[in-house]
Amino acid sequence: MTASIRSARKAPDPGARATTPASRSAATPAARSAAKPPAKPAAKPAETRAAKPPAPDLRQRILDAAADLLREEGVAALSMREVARRAGVTHQAPYHHFADRESILAELVTGGFSMLADRLARANDGAARHGPRRVLYDAGHAYVDFALEQPGRFRIMFRPELCDPTRFPAAAEAGDRAHTELMRMVTIVHGAPDEALATLHWSQVHGLASLMVDGGLADKMPSASARRAHVDAVLQAYATMASAPST
């Protein structure tokens, strides 16, 4: 029985196909290759991929549209519907971030005072290096240049009927910060804080800014280069006179 089992195991099947080691080695790679899915293309290195700029958030888009509208058409043209149209959003979208038109104006006023305070602070920071006259000149330029660059904001920043400081304390705080920098300049120039002197300096640069933005000087000097040259000449004279020792 043992011999018959061995012979049965060894007896070749007449219908079986003979396979040699060579044929097995040749067939195996092809079979494996057919079984594998097609290779995915190699990913591009990170540095070669074009970085997609982040889209501005909806709130900022609304504020940017409102600021453009103020600059181009004035506060009378600013409405929630027009801001939404310019921002490319639905008419209801601004209400997700701002309760009403005055809330948008208040945010623009707050940002305007913050920008102005930063500019005045940089002018005051140069006092140790440049002295009082240069501080007056630089602070004056900071104020007037802000008005020329941000006329829409400048026109509404000093109008409480458009932005009630009791309703929007953040706007009042930003305004206080700008006034603090004004008083700091007065202390640098005159040796001590003084509200009367602060008002004197403020009225000088605010009046010049207003004349350049909306007054007669703006009409007489239609080119930006002419306006800036005139502003520089006025501020040079102002800084010289205001920093002269009193007799």
| CATH code assigned at 107 | 1.10.357.10
What is the span of the domain harbouring residue 79? 56-98
Same-domain pairing of 183 and 212? yes
Contact indicator for 66, 108 with CB cutoff of 8 Å: yes
Same-domain pairing of 117 and 180? yes
Same-domain pairing of 79 and 130? no
Same-domain pairing of 148 and 187? yes
Phi, psi of 80 (to 5 degrees): -60, -40
d(Cα 136, Cα 61) in Å, to the nearest integer? 36
d(Cα 45, Cα 21) in Å, to the nearest integer? 44
Of the candidates 159, 160, 136, the residue with the CA atom closest to the CA atom of residue 208 = 136
> How does pLDDT run across 157-179, given as a tens digit for each residue?
999 999 999 999 999 999 999 99
- Look up tokens 């020329």; give the residue: 148
Q: Does residue 35 form part of some domain?
A: no
Tally of domains in the chain = 2
Same-domain pairing of 183 and 122? yes
Instruction: Kindly state the average pLDDT of the residues 128-151.
Output: 95
Same-domain pairing of 83 and 155? no
The pLDDT, as a whole number, for residue 39 is 56
Greater confidence (247 vs 105) lies with: 105
**Confidence label for 36 from pLDDT (cuts 50, 70 and 90):** low
Q: Does residue 17 form part of some domain?
A: no
pTM: predicted TM-score of the whole model, two decimal places: 0.75
- Percent residues over pLDDT 90 in the chain: 67
**Confidence label for 127 from pLDDT (cuts 50, 70 and 90):** confident
Q: Does residue 49 form part of some domain?
A: no
Lowest pLDDT segment from 40-44, 89-93, 126-130: 40-44
